Copies of this chain bind each other. A is one copy, B any other.
Amino acid sequence: MLTKKQLDLLEFIQKRVKRDGVPPSFDEMKTALNLRSKSGIHRLITALEERGFIRRLAHRARAIEIVRLPESLGGEPTTGFVPRVIRGDRPASIPANADPVTIQAVELPVMGRIAAGVPIEAISQVSHQVAVPAQMLSSSGEHYALEVKGDSMIDAGINDGDVVVIRETSVADSGDIVVALVKDHEATLKRLMRRGSAIALEAANPAYETRVYPQEQVKVQGRLVGLIRTY
């Protein structure tokens, strides 16, 4: 699947991530492979992405993540699968030899529906499972999915009926779209904005008002990391 150069580069990236926890920059890779120009690295990276070994964020520094490894580097034999979080009330493990083909995806439980003002109970039980591309998930962390109800986020391109993928976390930056638990009462999907010591939860729809709460009343339960829509 990979040419020698591509394999070399992948191997180097892997070592670096293991050693430093941070992927190398283009310049570092250039040096490691004894090249005189970064553009060669760029091409190799593109090839690796195309072949599904890494995923990356374009135009971002060191935004490379290894998604899978070829067998020769100790990756699962192709009958395997990159095990990732599978939560919910299902057996935690992924069938080891599930499939002759590697599929870069994970099943997540859909925990219910969410909107402005949905009772928290709604996000407590699994209604069904969805498969999501592995690239969507962080390599660590727990994820789950919710079905969006209502149009409160349409201006952010989140429609009624969409399935959103949430990474569980209690921290969020201003501007992130989060699942927030307000006054231990209701869970909503909103854009979180910090206003001094208060927190504003903005809908992405002029028809809904932004509501501002003191910090203690808002608990972040997760951050939006992906969206899946079926027509």
Contact = CB atoms under 8 A, between A and B. Distances in A.
Interface stretch (A30-38, A94-102, A179-187): A94-102
Interface stretch (A70-78, A116-124, A195-203): A70-78
A106 B107 contact: no
Contact of A85 (B52, B55, B101, B133): B101
Contacts of A65: 1, 78
A220 interface: no
A124 B80 CA distance: 30
Nearest to A57: B51
A219 B105 CA distance: 33
A47 to B, nearest CB: 8
The 10 A-B residue pairs with the shortest CB-CB distance, nearest first, are A21-B72, A105-B131, A105-B105, A131-B133, A227-B229, A157-B159, A1-B65, A157-B157, A68-B100, A52-B129
